[in-house]
Structure 1
């Protein structure tokens, strides 16, 4: 290692920095909490301020598309010079933006504030994914724990925000700033020490090395988009499918979405475990293979309890490769960790989201059952594409610690 490292740091360990992984996963939970608040907020905005469906769709666009497109930009900036302070600042911006929505009364200002919140969420992700990789090293399980934090935060946002809005209405949004304020304070006090150690010097870590492989990265993004179309198609329409095709109550329809997201959390952890014990491509392929019978069962069963079981299997299957996508992207572009993280987390999701209106139009002209049947083609296509990809770490190998060059400070 360089001369600026003490003797204890010259023999780097590839063990997981559990404190660092826990801190980054918790901060991911708080950050993505604000993504989950927006869907819960929209019905109350529509009711109190009499917004049209088009206006509500515009707010959804402000929250998602701007955030997703901005994430790769923040990734590129981070690759030029790491900006670790964006982890706390981005999260706090996300909280402030949504907190002020209840105090704004014009639609344009509401739109801008929700866009600012999405912008903060975008600023958080690339640097947070870089820090999670630094803490977890080559462990896919560590990255799956980081990803699980985001999944949990999204689900928690709706669960926490809805009672607040039922009690106080939209004017209760300032209360939602509390999680971001607390977590940003913790990060300001603890982040550097937890990630870098008592000395404040960067710990040796198993970060990817080598040349950037753009052709493989492009293949990965195509697979990410396919998974995104599946994911957003299911989350957008699974509740309606239970209500209109299986003739259940609205509560059962809502429960179906909850089951999908909760079992997805288990799938995220399982995907990291599979990747660590075989290879990353095996985890992605297993997810697509399981998705085919899961979707088929969802479509062809007529009993809603049985269909709910297939929803659970679909959640596990679709989330299996979630964290692996981030790890593979970083390994394909080892010199552009921020860019890889921003694109895999952000841009791939937004491109997939552009297909949701097309799926809705297709369902309007046929039925939700036909639309879900058509989705079965996508995991087959994704599985076929993975056979043309390679795992840069190779079977049974691990990433090597970086050495011989200083690491710029955030």
Structure 2
């Protein structure tokens, strides 16, 4: 019995003149943001499949590394990261993009590691948490100094962190971004409200001969907030030597755990909506699905998928946790059952390296970005209403 041919995209968005490096759906509106290697950002109408607005927001010489539009920024803002060492927040409306950023962070980070905005699990997404109070209450919080180790059972000893948070607390107060630091082996977390660096995760540990700096550059990041971390930010970071480190900012000197599932640089990490697992892709020929055990602080392989052709630039898990996608160096987008790990489809539309893949918040659309200057929109395995 012959297999059905892979589906085509429902639309192809054309307009960029250079490689499309990153894409991000708006969490509430039918629009998509895309950034390219020549510094241009485009806003697309995903219903009419046309450009709503476009502008060169970073210099053409440096280009755009990443774009992100999340609910925590507000409904009319998005963030961009350029290889010019800046992260910028932009406003947009029906008239188009603002030409002047509402905030510019000069990070002095000139790497190609994409920044990561914060991912909440379902508990924190609905309840929210005013984290600034907690960080200001911790020694060294909200400054460039490293915060000292805070033991887990002492995390809520101050009043600001022990207060209760009801369902009316607004999660729009949580505006943080993680990025590869000025030292390429370090991870930094910045507050997008104050443009201040709040945490710097140590690149080396004097008591550990296998320091983070020995792992090479930080290649990919995921910043997340789980209900199991008592309201404190966590980061999963992938490094040049193929290792991944899980950080809890309460102890910025020593990671929660270190694993090495890949033999080549880790290129992309995505945490699922529960913040209890994720998927990683690398320059090698493996895709890894893993679980994050918060109680024991361990990261365990659930499924290892072998590839015929190495190289994964981007990975994404659909918000409902059922489907995962990867963007490959071989121009292909691969679709997997995230819960079981089995392959579902190989999409062969693009004619250049696939740089990124992402899902809309309602799970109905997937977008893929490619070096061929196009963005593909796909409708695959629509979510069931049950």
TM-score, normalised with respect to structure 2:
0.28
Structure having the larger proportion of residues in strand: 2
TM-score, normalised with respect to structure 1:
0.27
Structure number with larger C-alpha Rg: 1
